[in-house]
Amino acid sequence: MSSASDRWDYDVAVIGGGPGGSTCATALAQRGRKVVVLERERFPRFHIGESQLPWTNEILRTLGVRDTIAASGFIEKWGASFRGPDGPDERYADFQYARETPTPQTFQVLREKFDEILLRYSEKCGAQVLEEHRLTDAAFDRDGVTLRFTDKHGGAGTMRVGVVIDASGRAGVLVKRFGRHEPDPLLLNIAVHAQYEGIPRASGRRAGDIRMFTRPDMGWLWFIPLSDTVISVGAVIPQIVHRRESKATAEESLAHYLANTPVALPLLERARRVSPARFDADYSYLATRMAGDRWVAVGDAAAFLDPVFSTGVMLAMQAGLEVAEAIDNGLGTGDVSARIFARYERAVRGRYHHFRRFAVGFYEPAFRKLWYSRPPFRSIFDAVVSVLAGNWRPSFVTRMLVEVFFAVVAVERVLLKLRGLRGAR
């Protein structure tokens, strides 16, 4: 078996210590590989993306860190509620009824804390974590990769590794060198968000759930409880609307979108912003290339899907597990060429499209109309909720039930078109 001791400083370098990177580092270290993580920030650091999915539980269990996360005081999340723009219609996706979902309860997490727990766990499992180390260059040759980095003092360094994982999030340091992030033309939105206090929340088991309010312009708001007092509030707005309506600052833009979502106003009467507002633009996308000889990308570096169903962290971590397995096998056989990542890349693209269908649907009137109306059969709704819980490998029956749902959406689309034509006459 090739190993770092005779050929490289490390078997594997992971660029970025977010959930995708720490999952790779932990899973490889647990397999006995010599791993280094280069992270440009010092943790804990702010990151958006607080709402988790039930299917993340299984990944945390595989890594052996679920109990630590469960004991860390994060808010329990059991589901998601969606309210339409026209008043009382509410759709509640209760994960307890999600098909094929062994652990329906998940968490709303302060990402600075969640990501730090995962990164410290990587260290505990044997990975070396170098914070405030920024990758600046990677030179590939037949026998390995020479990485250049800068540290917090501005000093430069190099190291020799066998394989590099681009887990640098939306920076996509290697992905953008060998290709690009291809924007998704049907998901051109922006987000602006901040933390608030003074917002009432639901009572009982639903107190920790994410609440979403849709707008007639197809944008929507999220309310995610982060502690007993603090709620993350965000507005996701079509780029085309934002171009027209954006204000001078992120704070003013967010205030504008909140004030113009009447259905959410009762929650905001006593709301007080307790953090700066921040923008996130340029999403969604797929990387044109996700892997090459001696490198591979995970998480947001490889693909980013609109946050509407909170899939980001789960997808990044699932990818991390799969990449770790592919690299461990590759190092074992001495082949870490692009070829060994082909199956992984297919899986990432497949999962993106599996969830994309729902994300795109959410911005479409026909999908929303059906979503807010009574589902024809309970089992169809539970199949849809299963996917929204993170089910990326549904059984045949669940897949068929989801197909029925989309068939009804297609009929609804035609009916809406016909009604529009009749109205125009």
- Tell me the site size for ligand FAD, rule CB under 6 A: 37
Q: Does 54 bind ligand FAD (CB under 6 A)?
A: no
Distance (Å) of CA 72 to CA 17, 50, 56, 110: 19, 14, 16, 11
Indicate which single residue of 34, 40, 83, 294 sits in contact with ligand FAD (rule: CB under 6 A): 40
Q: Does 280 bind ligand FAD (CB under 6 A)?
A: yes
Q: Does 151 bind ligand FAD (CB under 6 A)?
A: no
Minimum distance of ligand FAD from residue 277's CB (angstroms): 12
Q: Does 162 bind ligand FAD (CB under 6 A)?
A: no
Q: Does 167 bind ligand FAD (CB under 6 A)?
A: yes
Residue 336 CB coordination number (10 Å): 26
> Tokens 């709620």 appear where?
231
Minimum distance of ligand FAD from residue 390's CB (angstroms): 9
Indicate which single residue of 32, 48, 216, 329 sits in contact with ligand FAD (rule: CB under 6 A): 48
Q: Does 313 bind ligand FAD (CB under 6 A)?
A: yes
Contacts of 344 (CB under 8 A, 6+ apart): 290, 291, 296, 319, 322, 323, 326
Which of residues 153 and 422 has its CB atom nearest to ligand FAD in the complex? 153
Which of residues 4 and 138 has its CB atom nearest to ligand FAD in the complex? 138
Indicate which single residue of 79, 162, 292, 307 sits in contact with ligand FAD (rule: CB under 6 A): 307
Q: Does 25 bind ligand FAD (CB under 6 A)?
A: no
Give ∠ CA 350-99-393 in degrees, rounded to 5: 20
Indicate which single residue of 47, 83, 294, 354 sits in contact with ligand FAD (rule: CB under 6 A): 47
Site residues, ligand FAD (CB under 6 A): 15-21, 38-41, 47-52, 134-135, 167-169, 171, 173, 191, 234, 280, 283, 299-301, 307, 310, 312-314, 316
